[in-house]
Structure 1
């Protein structure tokens, strides 16, 4: 890895904790005041940005939206990070857990000049400041929180609990990067954040960058005290030490001298960065010498500041500064209350804007000089716009891993086992920009081939009985889906690639995180300066139909439904029916950009149907007729009109198996029936082309599924999703869907499908019930199917396994 072992590179980051001079403290304080002034202006002002005339009602927004409480603390941290970036020549980015401090982060991007570069109309003068203020939380403007529109951000205001995981994801394989990650009071109470402190056990000081967590405690959430702010300092210190950190403390009170606060925080920040540099220098020297590297106690900062600091001390006789009342808008209904207009004017004037901005509204040169230049600015960091750094994966030819299919449905392979070989070579070819994450399931999900070239990264203690645990590894396993998701998001957002493998039922744990990432992708597609990033790829296996051994708690295919709710342009769902289609789909997803790709594939041995060439064509189409399983093209049938009597559709590996077995039964018992089999690998192809980029036209849909013939659809997940995706189609009223209906237990694989009515016998009965030419004429066949269900169920109860004619079935034609 370039630079990973460059010991000298860390020397520049260590300069000693020098005290601030009075002049330096005064300049830092002025910069902080400028950021605070711009933050308040964004929340309140429509006009008169520099208070050139007495503040009046028409200068104030009619709807006051935003969050002030956390903002001054974030601004203080930002100003000091700028100081150390310049002093130490650091490559640094800022992850803001208290995302509602949006006005502060926008203000700092504006002060650094980045905001005007990406939004030229928001110029660095009085006119630009007016537009900056007006756009905030205003129709046609920008959100009130840190958002994709905010330069320098990879973390959004709605993502409460994920900041630290995102920060670590950004630091992995980024040896020269320091990520300052601010964790707010409320965020610190969430489960994902509590687990995220353990990310330090996965950070390799020899090869990765560093994360500097800053626990920013201001005492309150929206309307209540916060836990970590109210426990004794010694208890909080012990908690952080128990997590493996070396905490440094700094506190600011309401009446503290600002210069003294700046000196205290500067000293603590310098001490933390000196320790980071020492840790990295020692680790990289040891690694270069082939010596083992012990897990260090990384520094972190516990910073206490008043909530709503520097804002109104009291409003209407009630305390505001330093209380929960400062959380959002300290002064409300300002336009209609002259006394509050006066209070707002006094608040803005307290920052002495005439000392900060010149006559044209530009930041004074001595203050502008405090910010780093170019890409060293945190608001211009390419790591926060990861598409700028994205390199194409060096991918092997997936066709080289193809399984041989000489006759469809006659041989078996484990699809994910074969995929594991492909991923092994992806890791081999991309040793510093691809990671495989998952909750302790890589081997369980049959991806164990990756351990031929890598290990699980593990910075904890090692025992002789451990296998594939090492200080450096491309596989990241922790039994927290939240951490896996957060790490991978941070990794992708900073310009790298990865894949998340998970049991299907438990991926629901990250539903809300997926929501936020989908919203991020949707928004960034509309922002010209945001560059496309690698897609977030899920491999969901150990799926609902092969969780018969673990039982009901492990059976849930509903993540697909959750993802499909997101904007069509960012979501893709694939249900490859066999190994070769899985390889084709995986290659496509690894090459894609700005999507959330969900791949659902079984890990157990299953039938192979398509040659690689056929699989590529099928996946390219997204869905199509399987000629080998269909007989509707046999013109020798009496009265042939070129149309099938019935269409049997399927999506998913087990539904495909049951559909083909049903076709076998129909051919045996109703040989004159004309059957068409349509397999769906790209679920979104079922939608209209007007609703999803992968959708197909009505004409093509009708050609495949017919305009008036019954369609029996065997689907992997909850059946109503198929109805939702096809409700506008002309033949929708003839589509009958079978899928998972929330029935399950610990049982045999075939009993599992019978419990949910997805079995081959039910599918045959559905054909008989819905093909008008059958009905009473095929009553004996229908009865036989129901009798077979009873017989097979009895067999499972007696023998504890499925009968051989079920478990050993292959395509006989």
Structure 2
């Protein structure tokens, strides 16, 4: 095996490509020499020295934060956490944008993809005094700086990545790939806002980022703000080169020119402040030019938006070489460049030399930054990027009409999705700048197309759609849509993400990261509540018979169930009226992850609008009309959770009423899944008394559940009297193919016949009249199931009346 070779030189230039030199003519040329005044240049450099010092000190120092005495091992933290490598580039970008805001008053939100570059961003926030107003322990003075440096990445201190505790942040920095799409969501319907988004070259390797570069094709410059992408190429990730670091200028220009951008490459290290200042000024002027044209009625077709590529060495300004190993310009500077500074004299001396090189005492007056640094900071507090109102206090509730206006008649067959589409059309009309639908090219398939009577899709590269203010974003990248939805939601608006059930799992980890942001935000006193993240899951496995096994996967339900209970809500409304009631509630709710599961095919409307509302408020109820003697003193309890699985429960109850009349059946429907949690485990959980009131404390309960049985078992596990001897659960069991709807029920043992067999076995335990011929009746049910399947395989279709509304004799 060949040994792994380390690069002999720091950040060597990429090998030249075979592309013609003329490709570089596509890159933007600027005369940046002496772009900055002498005072502005000195201010930026002073700001950079101070911020870089604070960022480095945060990683290493637990004392002696201004090096007022010789550095010793006692001054070094016992655990060194943090990522240095990206910090100098982040600080360079932040300070330059801050200077522009101070000069022009532009509205800019700063979003960072390299979330572990928190030391760099926190240092900038301290310098602009955006920490103290939110976190009083980090005032812009000597005490606040000491607290920031010594507390970073320690118990009780700020963590090593950006999160909801970070002023100005709308992006959880723990998982890479989503900063760009979050930025695009943030600027939608924010016409004056620019989101300056730094995308690290490591993050740029991810699939979600690769798709998100296309997001501008869905931004109408007449109604929305703009994203200024800054691709930070420093060549290395944690222990390897980056793809973009190996691409030369011609290759990068070719790639992004093809995506539709104007590219400006900033790489002159000797004059980088002038170069970046000129490039950012050009970029913002281009943004405003494109917007002005659109807003004056003369839009530019396929405008080429600006993109800045910032090339700097990894860990720029840190140690060059230690123990013969190259640090600056290599992956060794990605995290902690001197990991043994506490125990190794050579590394300790290198750290002291590094920190002293910034001459931090010269940059402070009585513990506060000198005026030269403050010249870079906007005077108006609300213009500072750490204090942008969009990041913490702009929630705008939706105007919603009464859902009952769209309700449907009890006893009819209706599609939950079609009825919801009519309701959503009204939501769009009533909230023309604060509600959007993010859909992965499935809105029509999911039968929500009634919204197109009042709006369009928003695709600016489509000549038929551009400039029409469409409220529907359709792109075949669930990751991009999820990021947009997060950015849109966290900046005060409300969105909806409808999807095929089988493919919501694609954004599972993004949803989990978002819920972590919600958790930390809820523990942060200065953050205002924000709208919930709303998912509609349809095209479910129960009606995916024409697509086959690949389109059968309800696992996203379990993903939401695993979240912290305070933020998780899962609803399975059984009919169209219940779906409307639930959807209206979710669009008004704040701070949750809401998942609503419903059918797009016509199914019975079991409940009137008034009954549906009461049922949804309760979360579950006994359906007396489907039960024997209104459900009193049952032999067995049959529970439906989900549209089609509930239909089979009702059908089973009717079947038993006819063939086993001596059985006393209670039918229960659960629409709010979280009520089943153990008492106290979830805010919606039933009390033990209420739980026993619905499900008894001594009768067999058969759950017919839309998703995986293990999920339900986990919810019920903490409740008394819910052992498998009494609680029987059927659900999706990974069985399916291209077959009929009813055969899907038979395959997964969720059919009326399977339920009836279970009911007979359960009721026989307490009812001797059932027990005496239980075997005969159960055999009849199995025989009927076999005949159904034989007919399906013989004819290729279900019986015409198999989904007729059950009739109770």
Normalised by the size of structure 2, how large is the TM-score? 0.94
Structure 2: how far apart are the matches of 1:482 and 1:541? 18
- Check 1:483–1:217 CA distance in 2 against 1; reply closer, same or farther (3 A cut): same
Match of 1:699 among 683, 689, 693: 689
Alignment of 1:38-49 (within 5 A): 38-49=54-65
State the partner residue of 2:538. Answer: 541
Match of 2:404 among 389, 399, 405: 399
Whether the aligned pair in 2 keeps the contact of 1:427 and 1:453 (CA below 8 Å) is: yes
Alignment of 1:126-165 (within 5 A): 126-165=142-181
TM-superposed CA distance for 1:336, in Å, is 1.6
Structure 1: how far apart are the matches of 2:109 and 2:755? 56
State the partner residue of 1:785. Answer: 781
TM-superposed CA distance for 1:231, in Å, is 1.7
State the partner residue of 1:64. Answer: 80
TM-superposed CA distance for 1:680, in Å, is 0.4
Match of 1:89 among 72, 97, 105: 105
Please list the CA deviations of residues 326-356 of structure 1 after superposition, one character each: whole Å capped at 9, or x if unmatched: 0000011212223322221111111110121
State the partner residue of 1:295. Answer: 302
* Residue 589, structure 1, aligned to residue 586, structure 2: yes
Please list the CA deviations of residues 86-125 of structure 1 after superposition, one character each: whole Å capped at 9, or x if unmatched: 2221000011001110011111111111101111122222
TM-superposed CA distance for 1:239, in Å, is 0.2
State the partner residue of 2:356. Answer: 349
Match of 1:321 among 315, 320, 328: 328
Structure 2: how far apart are the matches of 1:807 and 1:421? 25
* Residue 361, structure 1, aligned to residue 367, structure 2: yes
Alignment of 1:253-292 (within 5 A): 256-257=269-270, 260-286=271-297
Whether the aligned pair in 2 keeps the contact of 1:50 and 1:361 (CA below 8 Å) is: no
Please list the CA deviations of residues 176-201 of structure 1 after superposition, one character each: whole Å capped at 9, or x if unmatched: 00110111011110100000000010
Whether the aligned pair in 1 keeps the contact of 2:568 and 2:594 (CA below 8 Å) is: yes
Match of 1:767 among 759, 763, 770: 759
Return 545-554 or 768-777, whichever deviates more: 768-777
Match of 2:790 among 786, 791, 794: 794
State the partner residue of 2:415. Answer: 414
TM-superposed CA distance for 1:631, in Å, is 1.6
TM-superposed CA distance for 1:471, in Å, is 4.3
Whether the aligned pair in 1 keeps the contact of 2:541 and 2:554 (CA below 8 Å) is: yes
Whether the aligned pair in 2 keeps the contact of 1:702 and 1:731 (CA below 8 Å) is: no
Structure 2: how far apart are the matches of 1:21 and 1:125? 28
Return 70-79 or 684-693, whichever deviates more: 684-693
State the partner residue of 1:238. Answer: 254
Whether the aligned pair in 2 keeps the contact of 1:311 and 1:347 (CA below 8 Å) is: yes
State the partner residue of 2:15. Answer: none
* Residue 331, structure 1, aligned to residue 333, structure 2: no
Please list the CA deviations of residues 413-452 of structure 1 after superposition, one character each: whole Å capped at 9, or x if unmatched: 1111111111000000000010011111111111111111
Whether the aligned pair in 2 keeps the contact of 1:455 and 1:469 (CA below 8 Å) is: no
Whether the aligned pair in 2 keeps the contact of 1:660 and 1:811 (CA below 8 Å) is: no
* Residue 516, structure 1, aligned to residue 513, structure 2: yes
SS of the residue corresponding to residue 572 of structure 1 reads strand
State the partner residue of 2:23. Answer: none
State the partner residue of 1:3. Answer: none
State the partner residue of 1:683. Answer: 673
Which ranges of structure 2 fall in alignment gaps of 5 or more residues? 1-30
State the partner residue of 2:721. Answer: 731
Structure 1: how far apart are the matches of 2:426 and 2:361? 61
TM-superposed CA distance for 1:688, in Å, is 2.0
Structure 1: how far apart are the matches of 2:572 and 2:145? 51
SS of the residue corresponding to residue 368 of structure 2 reads coil
Structure 2: how far apart are the matches of 1:610 and 1:811? 16
Structure 2: how far apart are the matches of 1:56 and 1:292? 62
TM-superposed CA distance for 1:361, in Å, is 1.4
State the partner residue of 1:5. Answer: none
State the partner residue of 2:20. Answer: none
State the partner residue of 2:748. Answer: 756
Return 177-186 or 724-733, whichever deviates more: 724-733
SS of the residue corresponding to residue 118 of structure 1 reads coil
Structure 2: how far apart are the matches of 1:727 and 1:74? 48
Q: What is the number of residues matched between the two proteins?
A: 772
Return 155-164 or 179-188, whichever deviates more: 155-164
TM-superposed CA distance for 1:633, in Å, is 4.3
Match of 1:311 among 315, 318, 332: 318
- Check 1:577–1:232 CA distance in 2 against 1; reply closer, same or farther (3 A cut): same
SS of the residue corresponding to residue 345 of structure 1 reads helix
Whether the aligned pair in 2 keeps the contact of 1:124 and 1:362 (CA below 8 Å) is: yes
SS of the residue corresponding to residue 479 of structure 1 reads coil
TM-superposed CA distance for 1:316, in Å, is 0.9
SS of the residue corresponding to residue 690 of structure 1 reads coil
Please list the CA deviations of residues 130-188 of structure 1 after superposition, one character each: whole Å capped at 9, or x if unmatched: 11112211012121011111111111221300111011101111110011011101111
State the partner residue of 1:721. Answer: 711
Alignment of 1:4-43 (within 5 A): 19-43=35-59
Return 590-599 or 441-450, whichever deviates more: 441-450
* Residue 503, structure 1, aligned to residue 519, structure 2: no
Match of 2:488 among 491, 495, 507: 491
Structure 2: how far apart are the matches of 1:727 and 1:55? 56
SS of the residue corresponding to residue 773 of structure 2 reads helix
State the partner residue of 2:5. Answer: none
Whether the aligned pair in 2 keeps the contact of 1:649 and 1:659 (CA below 8 Å) is: yes
Whether the aligned pair in 1 keeps the contact of 2:574 and 2:641 (CA below 8 Å) is: yes
Structure 2: how far apart are the matches of 1:216 and 1:89? 25
Please list the CA deviations of residues 585-609 of structure 1 after superposition, one character each: whole Å capped at 9, or x if unmatched: 0011000000000000001000110
SS of the residue corresponding to residue 115 of structure 2 reads coil
Whether the aligned pair in 2 keeps the contact of 1:153 and 1:384 (CA below 8 Å) is: yes
Structure 2: how far apart are the matches of 1:766 and 1:440? 41
SS of the residue corresponding to residue 79 of structure 2 reads coil
Whether the aligned pair in 2 keeps the contact of 1:237 and 1:247 (CA below 8 Å) is: yes
Structure 1: how far apart are the matches of 2:801 and 2:394? 55
SS of the residue corresponding to residue 595 of structure 2 reads strand
Whether the aligned pair in 2 keeps the contact of 1:458 and 1:471 (CA below 8 Å) is: no
Whether the aligned pair in 1 keeps the contact of 2:541 and 2:551 (CA below 8 Å) is: yes
Whether the aligned pair in 2 keeps the contact of 1:98 and 1:183 (CA below 8 Å) is: yes
* Residue 79, structure 1, aligned to residue 84, structure 2: no
* Residue 371, structure 1, aligned to residue 383, structure 2: no
SS of the residue corresponding to residue 300 of structure 1 reads strand
Q: CA RMSD in A?
A: 1.5
SS of the residue corresponding to residue 208 of structure 1 reads coil
Whether the aligned pair in 2 keeps the contact of 1:69 and 1:308 (CA below 8 Å) is: yes
TM-superposed CA distance for 1:67, in Å, is 0.2
Whether the aligned pair in 1 keeps the contact of 2:187 and 2:194 (CA below 8 Å) is: yes
Match of 1:52 among 46, 68, 85: 68
State the partner residue of 1:479. Answer: 476
Whether the aligned pair in 2 keeps the contact of 1:375 and 1:381 (CA below 8 Å) is: yes
Match of 2:802 among 795, 798, 806: 806
SS of the residue corresponding to residue 537 of structure 1 reads strand
Return 307-316 or 149-158, whichever deviates more: 149-158
